[in-house]
Chains A and B, each alone.
Chain A
Amino acid sequence: DTGVSQNPRHKITKRGQNVTFRCDPISEHNRLYWYRQTLGQGPEFLTYFQNEAQLEKSRLLSDRFSAERPKGSFSTLEIQRTEQGDSAMYLCASSLGTGFYGYTFGSGTRLTVV
């Protein structure tokens, strides 16, 4: 297992287009998290899954954002009708249980909306 994998690493899209990111967590980890990070800021929580169930969503996650984890393994984060304000690094992390011993993060997907 090579850790948490995110694809693509970079995505440039035109305003109004839809984009989808993928995260493959560590296989034994039952929890998966999505965070967003803008330049010079700390990561902000978006949503998390326990197995296939989406348990919590931040108010940051507008109705243009949707996340899935269909079989409790990989997850996708889709942004519809992208806006320039969506430009950020999207980070995925996974943990065993509640993450009491820490999260393992992927390298992130850098989204640029032009």
Chain B
Amino acid sequence: SQQGEEDPQALSIQEGENATMNCSYKTSINNLQWYRQNSGRGLVHLILIRSNEREKHSGRLRVTLDTSKKSSSLLITASRAADTASYFCATLEAGNMLTFGGGTRLMVKP
């Protein structure tokens, strides 16, 4: 079963625009992580936010976490065609494995 639900399932934007993806989850977590997957490839770890953090930045990425609403968002600023990929949130519960959502498929048009 999947812990998270991503919204939207698909997103198409123009290069230079910002992309926002949302993730909701169900249980208490240690941290929430975002991964990227290019078509037919493995997942690449992007950014992690701990349960006691509210916002984190890494380059063009900004992640927020609202534990009261059990939700997170990933913002990619100034998007590039190379950002085209699927993006997954994943939650880590105490001592358990990562549980992934269904993903958002992002297309950035040049």
Contact = CB atoms under 8 A, between A and B. Distances in A.
Contacts of A33: 97-98
Contacts, number: 61
Interface in B40-60: 40-45, 48
B16 to A, nearest CB: 27
Interface of B: 1-2, 4, 30-31, 33, 35, 40-45, 48, 88, 92, 95-103
Contact of A100 (B2, B30, B44): B30
A102 B45 contact: yes
Contacts of A13: none
Contacts of B30: 100
A44 B35 CA distance: 14
Contacts of B45: 102-105
Contacts of A48: 97
Contacts of B31: 100
Contacts of A93: 43
Interface of A: 4, 6, 33, 35, 40-45, 48, 56, 89, 91, 93, 98-108, 110
Contact of A44 (B2, B33, B44): B2
Contacts of B99: 45
Contact of A105 (B4, B42, B95): B42
Given A33-B97, A42-B88, 17 more contacts: A6-B42, A33-B98, A41-B2, A45-B99, A48-B97, A56-B97, A91-B42, A91-B43, A102-B33, A103-B43, A103-B45, A105-B35, A105-B42, A105-B43, A106-B42, A107-B41, A107-B42
A102 B103 CA distance: 17
